[in-house]
């Protein structure tokens, strides 16, 4: 197994454990609506969503915020997880449109199937696959969206190339993701911190350059949310512990072990202002 495949397997295992335990990026189901608002989801967006889907969301933003997705269009969600953004996209494209979700983790696909069925949607299709090798035809989608997923990929240049391949000429990208500057090597090399959407994060300029190198144009970052030290502490609180399933923000911070809260706080203070959620937009040339 290659190093990249091993990384993907670990991430998939961590997220499967998290979804089965009811974990989420906000940890506590009771605070899910607050976290949704922080990520840019309006009360209208989250109204009528099935079950505990908000508490099973691992996103860092709302990639569909302020988008111009229109009825009848086709939307592709990379790393579609439990289906929150799939449902919101399906509402936008309507019965004449289509939404495709791709995820590599069967437990996530199972959760999405249940949520889509509970929402009564018939215009959503789920496909198991890698974001580096999308099971999607060339030039077949109008929109590519993704929510805190591409940072997890060990081969981001392949992801960017795949996005350009599947978009129709004139098709657009809206992605929310974690970016970071000057992360210590200990964080980048820690498997659980990578699963927490931090260890694999690249800088905003690198991200934009990757999209442009894939052939996309009009690359912009219209919105940013810089993380406070308290939020970063949740991401790194398990630094050094191996083998524990992911919960909370993907790193298992509900569980103990690794760095304690005080040590995690010191690391987080050093990272404050260097990690943020960015919403990227781009377009494939006509």
| Residue 88, domain CATH | 3.40.50.150
pLDDT tens track for 155-167: 999 999 999 999 9
Task: Note whether residue 40 is domain-resident.
Answer: yes
Q: Is the pLDDT of residue 66 over 70?
A: no
Tokens of 243: 């083998």
197 — pLDDT class (breaks 50, 70, 90): confident
Q: Is residue 256 part of a domain?
A: no
In a domain, 29, yes or no: yes
Query: What range does the domain containing 217 cover?
Result: 3-227+277-283
The Cα–Cα gap between 44 and 65 comes to 12
DSSP H or E segment with residue 116:
helix 106-118
Token code pair at residue 32: 């899910």
Does residue 54 form part of some domain? yes
Residue 266 confidence (pLDDT): 81
Asked if residue 272 is part of any domain, the answer here is no
Tokens representing residue 202 in the block: 């690249």
Percent of the chain surpassing pLDDT 90? 52
How sure is the predictor about 59, in pLDDT bands with cuts at 50, 70 and 90?
low
pLDDT of residue 252: 35
Classify residue 143: in a domain, yes or no. Answer: yes
Structure-token pair, residue 88:
């919101």
Number of domains forming the structure of the chain: 1
Asked whether residue 270 is assigned to any structural domain, the reply reads no
Q: pTM for this one?
A: 0.83
In angstroms, the CA 115 to CA 109 distance is: 10
| Residue 256: other Cβ atoms inside 10 A | 12
Q: For the segment 222-275, what is each residue's pLDDT rounded down to a tens digit?
A: 999 898 888 787 766 544 444 333 333 333 333 333 456 777 788 788 888 999
Give the per-residue pLDDT at 228. Answer: 87
């Amino acid at each position: 197994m290659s190093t990249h495949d091993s990384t993907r397997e670990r991430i998939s295992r961590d997220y499967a454990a998290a979804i089965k335990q009811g974990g989420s990026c906000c940890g506590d189901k009771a605070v899910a609506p607050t976290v949704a608002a922080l990520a840019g989801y309006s009360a209208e967006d989250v109204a009528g969503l099935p079950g505990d889907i908000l508490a099973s969301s691992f996103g860092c933003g709302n990639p569909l915020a302020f988008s111009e997705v229109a009825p009848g269009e086709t939307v592709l969600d990379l790393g579609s997880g439990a289906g929150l953004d799939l449902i919101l996209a399906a509402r936008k494209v309507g019965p004449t449109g289509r939404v495709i979700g791709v995820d590599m983790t069967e437990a996530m696909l199972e959760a999405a199937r249940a949520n889509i069925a509970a929402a009564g949607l018939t215009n959503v299709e789920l496909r198991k696959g890698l974001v580096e090798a999308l099971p999607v035809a060339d030039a077949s989608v109008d929109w590519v969206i993704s929510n805190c997923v591409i940072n997890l990929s060990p081969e981001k240049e392949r992801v960017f190339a795949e996005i350009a391949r599947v978009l129709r000429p004139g098709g657009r990208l809206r992605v929310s993701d974690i970016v970071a500057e000057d992360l210590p090597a200990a964080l980048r090399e820690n498997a659980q911190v990578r699963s927490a959407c931090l260890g694999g994060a690249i800088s905003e300029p690198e991200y934009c350059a990757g999209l442009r190198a894939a052939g996309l144009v009009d690359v912009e970052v219209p919105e940013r949310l810089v993380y406070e030290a308290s939020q970063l502490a949740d991401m790194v609180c398990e630094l050094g512990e191996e083998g524990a399933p992911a919960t909370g923000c993907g790193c298992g911070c509900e569980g103990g072990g690794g760095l304690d809260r005080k040590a995690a706080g010191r690391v987080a203070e050093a990272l404050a202002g260097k990690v943020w959620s960015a919403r990227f937009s781009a377009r494939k040339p006509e």
